[in-house]
Amino acid sequence: MKLAVDNISIAIDKKIILDGITHAFAEGKRTAIIGANGAGKSTLLRALCLLNENFSGTVTLDGVDIRSLNRRSIAQSIAILPQEREAPIDTTVRQLTYYGRFPHQKLFSSGNPKEDRTAVEWAMSVTNVAHLADRQVSTLSGGERQRAWLAMSLAQQPKTLLLDEPTTYLDINHQLEVMRIIADVNRRRSMTVVMVLHDINHARDFADEVIVLRDGKIFARGNPVEVLNPELIRAVFNVDADFFINGAGEKILGYRKELD
């Protein structure tokens, strides 16, 4: 399913957050959105699924204006994992994952129990939380909790998955685990993934394309390995950067200090 935005603009309290964003997201690929704080990354992500409706311009799914679709239809095609989320304190991992099936259930009906069960078991399996199914989400570690919420989004079985900083507050090991799960699901299911990231090297390693926002506009876009270079980092983040070779012989971006 093709997701695209045409001339999207958003202003809050007369401050322009997004200014004329136009982009067709690569179908079945992983797109990273990066930029400094306040660049409009999360705002753009929320507009893609109508969590933020206060925009001018158009968001389309397969050429259809998303505003013409009902919420259930949108949720059957697009899942979003926002930064801020809460579940009732006694919610188990299995129950949380089942919440992802709501868009596929009809009014006064539980939908197809077999399909729901299959989707939930698959989602818990691929996110490595099946063994935690009966644990309360509130008792989990940060990495376990993040994977449980990701399982809920995947149980929705969307064609497009939106992720807002999916590795925030996680240590390096759990960051990589989450990113690898996302990459694996994308490859196996050809699921379009659009993710807001802060880690530049995660964008270089795990994205097929990158959109760089600055001052509400697209400053650069394209192949992450080609786009994300020291010059761009200096221009967008005001940080001195350079390429370094790690112990495995791989080229990575490193940062030294903030520029004056």
Q: What is the pLDDT of residue 251?
A: 83
Closest to 82 (Cα-Cα) out of 140, 161, 15: 161
Q: Domains of the chain, with CATH numbers? A: 3-89+158-228 (3.40.50.300)
Name 149's Cβ contacts closer than 8 Å, sequence gap at least 6.
81, 85, 96
- pLDDT class of 125 with cuts at 50, 70, 90: very high
- pLDDT class of 110 with cuts at 50, 70, 90: low
Name 232's Cβ contacts closer than 8 Å, sequence gap at least 6.
212, 219, 220
- pLDDT at 107 exceeding the cut of 60: no
The answer to whether the pTM exceeds 0.75 is yes
- pLDDT class of 3 with cuts at 50, 70, 90: very high
Nearest-angstrom CA–CA distance, 191 and 162? 10
- pLDDT at 259 exceeding the cut of 80: no
Q: What is the pLDDT of residue 151?
A: 98
Residue pointed to by tokens 């080229």: 251
CA 133 to each of CA 25, 61, 79: distance values in angstroms, whole numbers, following the listed order: 34, 34, 21
Average pLDDT over residues 177-200: 97
Q: What is the pLDDT of residue 154?
A: 98
Nearest-angstrom CA–CA distance, 97 and 164? 18
As beta bridge partners, residue 84 has: none
Average pLDDT over residues 112-123: 94
pLDDT tens across 219-235, in order?
Answer: 999 999 999 999 999 99
Q: What is the pLDDT of residue 109?
A: 58
pLDDT tens across 64-80, in order?
Answer: 999 999 999 999 999 99
Mean pLDDT estimate for the chain: 93
Name 42's Cβ contacts closer than 8 Å, sequence gap at least 6.
82, 83, 164, 165, 196
Q: What is the pLDDT of residue 104?
A: 86
Query: In this prediction, what percent of the chain has a pLDDT beyond 90?
Result: 84
Lowest mean pLDDT among 84-93, 115-124, 215-224, 226-235: 84-93
How crowded is residue 121: how many other Cβ atoms within 10 Å of its Cβ? 15
- Strands in 15-24's sheet, in edge-to-edge order, are 15-24, 3-12, 56-61, 64-65
User: DSSP state, 139?
Assistant: G
